[in-house]
Chains A and B, each alone.
Chain A
Amino acid sequence: MKHIAMTALFVGALAVSACSNDRFGNGRFGGGSGDFVAGSPSDPRSPAYFNQTIGDRVLFAVDQSTLSPEGVQVLTQQATWLMENTSYTAVIEGHADEQGTREYNLALGARRASAVQNFLIDRGVAPNRLQTVSYGKERPLEVCSDELCYSKNRRAVTVLAAGAFTS
């Protein structure tokens, strides 16, 4: 019963998501600011809970891909959630701030995404449920050119998707 209700909600979310974000037409949740997220942040089984209550992202120091203690805390909960909600897969996006060349930042974003992926796999999430992508400095969240924004842009975001990967 509960399951059916969730599925219906899910489909609605997909439709909205597909219109609101041309970057992800394939049923991913979150990743950008202002995406519609399914469920309520207080429902522990909902993507909204994952994105907002647990937190879908971890931040990094300048030029680093080492997980911070705060990051480890967030990712530990992400891993637990993913283990309990096995119908979801995730693409982990690695991002960099704008201080750096395009190519280097792509490689740096790949390191960050991979650090998160490795952590989640170590905590038991099946490797075939996780993919990584680097956006380098191409998709900043915050647009100012100082550390206040840079610190939020140096991130790895775990973007949930419904179902297995196709390809």
Chain B
Amino acid sequence: MTRISKRMGFQLSKVTCLLAACAAFMAGHVTMASAQSNGPLRIEITDGVIEPLPFAIPDFVAEDGGASDFARSISRVIAADLASTGLFREIPQDAFISGVSNFASPVAYADWKAINAQALITGAVSSSGDSINVKFRVFDVFSGQPLGEGLQFSGGAAGWRRMAHKVADIVYSRVTGESGYFDSRVVFVAESGPKNARRKRLAIMDYDGANVQYLTDSSALVLAPRFSPQGDRVLYTSYETGFPQVYVLDVATVGRRVLSSQEGTMTFAPRFSPDGRTVVYSLSAGGNTDLYTMDIASGQARRLTQAPSIETAPSFSPDGSKIVFESDRSGSQQLYVMPATGGEATRISFGQGRYGTPVWSPRGDLIAFTKQNAGRFHIGVMRTDGSEERLLTASFLDEGPTWSPNGRVIMFTRESQGETGEASLYSVDITGRNLRRVLTEGAASDPAWSPLLN
């Protein structure tokens, strides 16, 4: 079994004394509009999107021989991160009028303006033993000023991709005013084999599909992994004993233990509370499925619902006070919100069709869900009171949304139909734009996004 190397620590510091030309970012987002040519560089993310913001990123300068392996690769990962959002568009390097051969040289704004680069990202990499140092600056080309201070990261060379993601997160954040999501991981189910004998194993990867590592073998069916709020543990359902039970797995050691095993019951659909101490899950006994919470340290379980209907797919609100879940108590699958300690539940879904797998956004403002209507599946979002429902996708089978750490992007499972049908991972913006496949080596399902790494 693969062991996951220890998370590497990064040191972040400012590059000398660049004056921060920090645009005053308004809190509370809204529209994404392209930056204007006078006024600070800024994308506002909203429904009205239009043109992605053009940026240029010359290959980072390698300041010594040891850095040459990483300089170009790092700038390529940064470019891919930004372009993958659909909010940015990279200007091809062959359009560049001037290059950047020295990190300290003044920026030739006119040359970048001439190719309509609204943002310019420059950087340099140096090495020392097994460590590398990455420094970078972002420029608002049209106002002729740096956008924020130059920063640098040092860390082990093996973590070069994470350093690139951190740079991209900062650029994204400076331009959109939102926190980033590139330095994050996704735990998912890697699938193989024919449709009637699927083999499934847990795997973890960077958000962009790189650095895949397997957490279990495929000897037992595994389903729906979920990250802890700290990203150090994963809850999932396994048929290891022949019966579905919730397990908790330590990501660093891949050690696992069953959460609870009560004779004659099945447990599934687990999720952590925001403080990581409690798990909410479904337990089936005598054919009836209800919701329970369990204190992980003590193993003390508490029953939250008591109804002959199906209660499943629970998810905590980010403040831990409420739980959204699905129930067929009304006769069909619908979404309900109740206090995290149980008690009266309020139905929030009222549209056509059936609603399942609700997940509270990390920002607290929206609930993502799977909707089935007229033979199609959709991923959608609604406000936490059920208003302003919007469907973001449609296909033969879309299900199981998970939120990016900043609450702007949703990843989910899309399965194609028929005997050659196969699952893959997709992501889409909460605006419904920028639907794209997340590249994985083989078939994949049940993604769960980690928080931003530290």
* Distance between A102 CB and nearest chain B CB, rounded to angstroms: 6
Contact A107 B289 (CB under 8 A): yes
A106 interface contact, C-beta 8 A: yes
Chain B residues within 8 Å of A101, by CB: 313, 326, 333, 356-357, 370, 372, 399-400
Tell which of B268, B287, B310, B313 has the most Cβ of chain A within 10 Å: B287
* Distance between B239 CB and nearest chain A CB, rounded to angstroms: 8
Chain B residues within 8 Å of A142, by CB: 196
Complex CA gap A107/B307 in Å reads 13
Shortest Cβ distance from A24 into B: residue: B242
- One of A4-12, A41-49, A81-89, A126-134 at the interface: A126-134
Contact B224 A102 (CB under 8 A): yes
B447 interface contact, C-beta 8 A: no
A140 interface contact, C-beta 8 A: yes
Contact A103 B313 (CB under 8 A): yes
| A139-B196 CB under 8 A given contacts A101-B356, A145-B421 | yes
In B315-344, the 8 Å CB interface with A consists of 326, 328, 333
B198 interface contact, C-beta 8 A: yes
Contact B286 A143 (CB under 8 A): no
Shortest Cβ distance from B371 into A: residue: A101
In A103-138, the 8 Å CB interface with B consists of 103-104, 106-108, 110-115, 117-118, 131-135, 138
Contact A138 B221 (CB under 8 A): yes
In B266-321, the 8 Å CB interface with A consists of 266, 268-269, 282, 284, 286-289, 310, 312-313
A70 interface contact, C-beta 8 A: no
Chain A residues within 8 Å of B282, by CB: 103, 106-107
A17 interface contact, C-beta 8 A: no
| A133-B243 CB under 8 A given contacts A101-B356, A106-B266, A107-B284 | yes
Complex CA gap A139/B282 in Å reads 20
Contact A104 B333 (CB under 8 A): yes
Contact B287 A133 (CB under 8 A): no
B446 interface contact, C-beta 8 A: yes
Chain B residues within 8 Å of A144, by CB: 418-419
Contact B372 A103 (CB under 8 A): no
What are 11 pairs between A and B in contact, CB < 8 Å? A24-B242, A91-B242, A100-B372, A102-B223, A102-B357, A102-B446, A110-B266, A110-B288, A111-B288, A133-B244, A167-B263
Given A22-B219, A100-B356, A104-B356: 7 more A-B contacts, CB < 8 Å: A32-B197, A102-B399, A102-B446, A106-B244, A117-B287, A131-B264, A144-B419
User: What residues make up the interface of A, taking CB atoms closer than 8 Å to B?
Assistant: 22, 24, 26, 32-33, 65, 91, 98-104, 106-108, 110-115, 117-118, 131-135, 138-145, 167
Top-7 shortest CB links A-B: A114-B287, A145-B417, A107-B289, A143-B419, A110-B284, A101-B356, A107-B310
